[in-house]
């Protein structure tokens, strides 16, 4: 099997081949800019990898892989408008660089471009590929909607949080892998197992991201620690802490949440200590481990080649052990 690095190079070449130097440049330039900002290209890489489990002609999945990356970047353009975010991957967002209207309209065009790329798929499974893509896209929108609603809600449960991150984060990776496997000609049983594997891995990844945002090392995490705490984001950590806190701890936690003028270092440290004291950190780590183990268990029980299993296990380890 090919390496992640080789597949990533092929994806980068595919993206470099896009022709966005056309009129109106005000519409297409921001698309080129967005696609050139990089990132790990995990979804398209794993789409190709999943395809290669079932056929040597894994490049059959290239248009769909590029469609998934285009879709992912479309969501970033619109999310950055909705979240009023000016910086992403250490670069100005499209919204910051070109304005809100451009981020909306160029984002719309990216969603259409994603469907155009997908339509280049030459496969007997095209109809299933198309419905999987659309269903995934809908779920990502649902996830973003829940994420926004949770900002103003105080009664979010752990189950609701997990469902939100499943929709907002996990389904796109899982959808990418499923689409690759469909194009490769995988059987329904293997495809379902791969999908479940990816969902659990995606959830574990998001929990790791939550942990790193609070307990990580600024240098390796790539952004300032404590962002979620400062925004009172209803993460697994915060929900666990509120559920497990005793009366005093709860009072203190709610006081920090309500304190809109809190000094950053003080609030981050205090809330972090509460996450330790209430066992929220341990609970989040345990949930992450359980999801990771479940994913690996699903992988072990699949009927794919040993080489394929190793590739997907390595991917899971890369995704989840990056800071350990």
**What residues make contact with its own copies under the rule CB under 8 A?**
23-24, 26-27, 78, 81-82, 101, 104-105, 107-109, 111-113, 115-116, 119, 127, 130-131, 134, 137-138, 141-142, 144-146, 148-149
66-87 burial, b for 16+ CB within 10 Å, e for fewer?
A: bbbbbbbbbbbbbbbbebeeee
Nearest to its own copies of 52, 106 (CB atom): 106
Phi/psi at 115 (nearest 5 deg)?
-65, -35
Nearest to its own copies of 45, 64 (CB atom): 64
d(CA 20, CA 29): 7
Nearest to its own copies of 151, 301 (CB atom): 151
Q: Is 145 left (phi over 0), alpha (psi -120 to 50) or beta?
A: alpha
Shortest Å, Cβ 3 to its own copies: 33
Shortest Å, Cβ 183 to its own copies: 16
Residue 48, both tokens: 């190709």
Determine how β-strand 87-88 pairs with β-strand 91-92.
Answer: antiparallel
Nearest to its own copies of 114, 173 (CB atom): 114
Nearest to its own copies of 144, 208 (CB atom): 144
Shortest Å, Cβ 103 to its own copies: 9
Nearest to its own copies of 37, 104 (CB atom): 104
Q: Are 53 and 304 in contact (CB under 8 A)?
A: yes
Residue 179: closest CA among 9, 15, 303, 58: 58
Angle of helix 126-151 versus helix 158-165 axis, rounded to 10: 140
Shortest Å, Cβ 160 to its own copies: 11
Give the helix/strand (H/E) hosting 172: helix 171-184
The 3-state DSSP class for residue 88 equals strand
Shortest Å, Cβ 112 to its own copies: 5
Shortest Å, Cβ 166 to its own copies: 13
């Amino acid at each position: 099997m090919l390496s992640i690095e080789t597949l990533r190079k092929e994806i980068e070449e595919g993206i470099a081949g896009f022709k966005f130097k056309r009129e109106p440049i005000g519409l297409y330039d921001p698309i080129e800019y967005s696609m050139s900002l990089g990132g790990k290209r995990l979804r398209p890489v794993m789409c190709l990898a999943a395809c290669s489990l079932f056929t040597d002609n894994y490049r059959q999945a290239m248009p769909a892989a590029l469609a998934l990356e285009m879709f992912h970047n479309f969501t970033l353009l619109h999310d950055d408008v909705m979240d009023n975010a000016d910086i992403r991957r250490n670069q100005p967002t499209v919204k910051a660089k070109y304005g809100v209207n451009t981020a909306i309209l160029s984002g719309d065009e990216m969603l259409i471009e994603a469907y155009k790329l997908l339509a280049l798929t030459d496969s007997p499974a095209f109809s299933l590929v198309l419905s999987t893509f659309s269903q995934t896209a809908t779920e990502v929108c649902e996830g973003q909607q829940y994420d926004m609603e949770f900002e103003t809600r105080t009664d979010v449960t752990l189950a609701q949080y997990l469902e939100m991150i499943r929709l907002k984060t996990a389904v796109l990776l899982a959808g990418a892998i499923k689409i690759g496997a469909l194009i490769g000609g995988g059987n329904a049983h293997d495809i379902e197992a791969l999908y479940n594997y990816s969902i659990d891995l995606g959830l574990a990844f998001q929990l790791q991201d939550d942990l790193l945002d609070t307990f990580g090392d600024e240098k390796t995490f790539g952004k300032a620690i404590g962002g979620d705490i400062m925004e009172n984001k209803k993460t697994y950590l915060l929900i666990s802490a509120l559920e497990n806190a005793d009366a005093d701890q709860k009072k203190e936690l709610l006081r920090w949440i309500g304190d809109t003028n809190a000094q950053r270092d003080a609030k981050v440290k205090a809330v972090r200590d509460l996450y330790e004291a209430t066992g929220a950190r341990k609970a989040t780590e345990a949930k992450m481990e359980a999801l990771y183990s479940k994913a690996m268990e699903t992988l072990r029980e699949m009927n794919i080649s040993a080489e394929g299993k190793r590739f997907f296990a390595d991917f899971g380890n890369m995704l989840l052990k990056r800071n350990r």
